Chains A and B, each alone.
Chain A
Amino acid sequence: EAGVAQSPRYKIIEKRQSVAFWCNPISGHATLYWYQQILGQGPKLLIQFQNNGVVDDSQLPKDRFSAERLKGVDSTLKIQPAKLEDSAVYLCASSLGATNEKLFFGSGTQLSVL
């Protein structure tokens, strides 16, 4: 079974530039999550999708972050413009769909903002 795919693996940008991350969840998984993991901290949920609808985006900095999940499959997370404090690993996870199910995580995208 293929896992959660994320790209790119690494990204280095300068502040005020824009960046986009891509995630392809496990086939058939209805729920998709984006997490931000700052060095030394646990992952923090940015946004949760159920199919192509947003379930929770309460911790997404909407002035600079945006995410979409077209057709309820792949998802992209965008940051525009990036700030130094956005340097982190961005993790994508998926689950079959019911609440409190096991999450399957991708390997993440490590973002460095200079």
Chain B
Amino acid sequence: AQSVTQPDIHITVSEGASLELRCNYSYGATPYLFWYVQSPGQGLQLLLKYFSGDTLVQGIKGFEAEFKRSQSSFNLRKPSVHWSDAAEYFCVLNTNAGKSTFGDGTTLTVKP
């Protein structure tokens, strides 16, 4: 069975600082990977996805993620965080059949 682990429950960064949110997965085949963001009072929104090809994928709002097969990781990064990035972030793995597994999320706090 597949699983997704987000090791950091809560991360605090200063505005303008860089950000990296970790995601590790377990799956016996090539996964489809996603990052979603859940802002207060809003629905989950897709940031980016990886299906195949270039292992560095670009998303909305200046986010990017890198797929590393050898490390079973798909970490999310942003070079300079804005106060509006404060939210909860979910890493998601889909199987070939489209069955999705969410991580338990990382809550991002941005300090002024």
Contact A44 B102 (CB under 8 A): yes
Instruction: State which size class the interface on A falls in.
Output: 20 to 34
Min distance, Cβ A30 to any Cβ of chain B, angstroms = 13
Which residues of B1-36 are within 8 A (CB) of A?
4, 32, 36
> Which stretch, A10-18, A74-82, A101-109, touches the partner chain B?
A101-109
Min distance, Cβ B65 to any Cβ of chain A, angstroms = 15
Q: Is B84 an interface residue (CB 8 A)?
A: no
Give the number of residues in B that approach A within 8 Å (Cβ atoms): 23
The interface residues of chain A, by DSSP majority, are classed as loop
Work out how many contacts link A and B, with CB atoms closer than 8 A.
46
A100-B32, A100-B94 known; A45-B43 Cβ under 8 A: no
Q: Is B42 an interface residue (CB 8 A)?
A: yes
Contacts A43-B102, A91-B43, A93-B44 given; 7 further ones with Cβ under 8 A? A4-B43, A40-B104, A100-B94, A103-B44, A104-B43, A105-B44, A107-B41
Residues in A lying within 8 Å of B, measured CB to CB? 3-4, 40-45, 56, 91, 93, 99-100, 102-108
